[in-house]
Amino acid sequence: MICWSETAGRIVTGWEGKMDGTEKIGIGVVGYGMIGRLHTMNYRQLRFLYPGALPALVLRAVCTSREETARAAQEEAGFCTAVTETEPLVADTELDVVDVSLPNNLHRPVVEAALAAGKHVYCEKPLAGTIEDARAIKNALDRAPSVRFGMVFQNRFFPAVMKAKEIIDEGRVGRIYTYRAEYLHTGYQSPERPLSWRLRKEEGGSGALADLGSHAIDLVRYLLGEFETVQGHLETFVTERPIAHGASAKGAVTVDDVAWFRATMAGGAVGTVEASRFATGTVDNLRFWVYGEKGALHFDLMDPNYLEWFDESLAGGSYGGERGWRRIQTVQYYPDAKVPPARSPIGWNRAHTENQYQFLKAIAEERDPSPGIVDGLRAQLVIDAVERSAVQNGRVVAVMPE
């Protein structure tokens, strides 16, 4: 069998050579839907963006639930092997990383199997379908101290977001009073859209709150620190849907369509977060606003090449003086990247690529990745607190400690 490898920029036989130390990193992808496919594409292009920065990558194995889809993924991407069970994948002695790109409820068994086999893990958000599964994953990682665990929270890796963090950390916004974060999608507002795993609690854990809200929660944590208390409200507008396209039979929707919550942060800031799949007319609208003593910041994923910054220190005066919102051109200013040019406009997938690069770089440097297990667990704890508050009619609920 042949498979894709970076070695000398050529395709090599799947079982050739020994991957020892950090000379090569063998990757296995579990789940090959949209996100697994995207991750695979990015593994193949990292060497062009960061030439010489990482060990050679080898696509060792792909795992899907059906043999025909596994074989199709192998053929498309050049994996060495295709399997339908996790066990042979994690048993591969030349495989170093397990990429978990599965529905939320399936994360725990695959992650636990990978950790028990001594494999590094790259896990899609949210960490798990339930807080119990998330804690179990953390406990399993604690039993495998030499293993590295990375989370997919790619929106941290837009240069505009990283610039916002730099400005905040340097104290240039001063004491932060309030914030607002929202992640708005469309596409679910039609009652004729059929059921899928994302609409069933037993598979997705929760709806818009976990699917979209986890990203907004992570950005708030990344920029402002830890959540302390929340007051949540969840709404399901379409309570049943066709079980398949064109079907007359319907099944129950058991997750939220929209989630809102108010939160207080450990640092004193107060803010709101909204996650919606019913924001008709939006596309991929992840936005945040931060308002502080010395200034304010705004980012919009639909305008990702810029960070907007209001600097209170700039002088006012006639006709407004120098004061006003500034647009900082952050575009693709990634310190390690060689191509494309930093001045190039950025796209949605570029942050995913950087997230994967930073994870693999941490493995090569034998350090814990960021975002990692703590970030995944703490986001899950906020989701759990919002759900607990919502069933108590929006009562103030403390976010549980790890």
Q: Average the pLDDT over 108-119 and give the result.
A: 98
HEC assignment per residue over 131-197: HHHHHHHHHHHHCCCCCCEEECCHHHHCHHHHHHHHHHHCCCCCCEEEEEEEEECCCCCCCCCCCCH
Percent of the chain with pLDDT over 70: 95
Tell me what pLDDT residue 14 has. Answer: 38
For residue 124, give the nearest of 256, 260, 200, 32 by alpha carbon.
32
Superfamily of domain 155-344+373-398: Dihydrodipicolinate Reductase; domain 2 (3.30.360.10)
Hey, how many other C-beta atoms are within 10 angstroms of the C-beta on 238? 16
**Residues forming beta bridges with residue 383, ordered by sequence position:** none
Q: Average the pLDDT over 173-190 and give the result.
A: 97
Q: Average the pLDDT over 120-142 and give the result.
A: 98
Q: Model pTM?
A: 0.93
In tens, the pLDDT along 71-86 reads: 999 999 999 999 999 9
In tens, the pLDDT along 322-369 reads: 889 999 999 999 999 999 999 999 999 999 999 999 999 999 999 999
In tens, the pLDDT along 22-38 reads: 489 999 999 999 999 99
Are 298 and 308 within 8 A, CB to CB?
yes
In tens, the pLDDT along 290-305 reads: 999 999 999 999 999 9
Alpha-carbon distance 342 to 337, whole Å? 8
Tell me what pLDDT residue 2 has. Answer: 60
3-state DSSP call for residue 387? helix
Q: Tokens 């690529």 sit at which residue?
A: 353
Whether omega before 340 lies within 30 degrees of 0, making that bond cis, reads yes
Of the CA atoms within 13 Å of residue 110, those in its CB half-sphere come to 29
CATH of domain 2-152: 3.40.50.720
Q: Tokens 């929660």 sit at which residue?
A: 217
User: Does residue 17 have a pLDDT over 60?
Assistant: no
CA angle 372, 374, 375 (to 5 degrees): 70
Q: Average the pLDDT over 42-59 and give the result.
A: 96
Extents of the domains making up the chain? 2-152, 155-344+373-398
User: Does residue 8 have a pLDDT over 70?
Assistant: no
User: Does residue 275 have a pLDDT over 90?
Assistant: yes
